[in-house]
Structure 1
């Protein structure tokens, strides 16, 4: 019988890493209590692009990637804290599930949702 270490390697597609990063971003946003103001659905899910610089080697380690995440946030909120939470979660989950070190996570806020404005209120918001 061939030893396990010599049987082959598992390759994780860039698309799979992008999906892991998108799910991690959503998990980070859902962990915050204020996020209920964002109507999540297919059109508002975090979108990711991945640039894999080095795929993981045979033992599933030493891969390296850069991630770009586009998110929608409620307004008002602490945008810096939300983006920081997304960065930390993406780095952690991609390392854990894909065996890659994420060297850079760029978070782009594509839209801010204001609950009164999304509800159709036209009055002044304070």
Structure 2
């Protein structure tokens, strides 16, 4: 019987047994959609900074296919604000954090602003008065 030794293990030629595979080469890693969604939600919170007290935190849904994640972020923002700038910051942060932490490409981040919360001032009426 002839044995061939290599970095990955030993192969016994006559019996045709497979070589022992190094631990780093075995198996597969699957990251659940909900894990990617939690990472994206945290990234959106980081991008937005402090929100109005009555605003809900960002809600994220994700569809993962192989190494690609499509993300939808639902936000509530303070009013007045630069909505476009906030959405751009959220997109960038979500793409960067998901790519860095789970090594997935994010070709699409759809941001939906669900509600605007007007700034409250102490005892001063806002808007139109009669």
The alignment's TM-score, normalised by the length of structure 2, stands at 0.74
Name the one with the larger helix percent.
Answer: 1
Residue pairs, 1:38-49, within 5 angstroms:
38-39=52-53, 44-49=56-61
Preserved CA contact (<8 Å) 2:76 2:117: yes
Q: Does 1:89 align with 2:103?
A: no
- Structure 1 residue aligned with 2:79, among 75, 82, 107? 75
Distance 1:120 1:15 in 2: 43
Distance 2:117 2:104 in 1: 33
Gaps of 5+ in 2: 1-8, 10-20
Q: Which has the higher contact order (CA 8 A, sep 6+)?
A: 1
Gaps of 5+ in 1: 55-62
Q: Which of 1 and 2 has greater Rg?
A: 2
Structure 1 runs, 4 residues or longer, greater than 6 Å off:
none
Structure 2 SS opposite 1:39: coil
| C-alpha distance after superposition, 1:31-87 (max 9, x if no partner) | xxxx45x126xx701001101122xxxxxxxx1111000011111111000000000
Distance 1:46 1:109 in 2: 10
| C-alpha distance after superposition, 1:7-43 (max 9, x if no partner) | 323221110000000000000001xxxx45x126xx7
CA RMSD in angstroms, aligned pairs only: 2.2
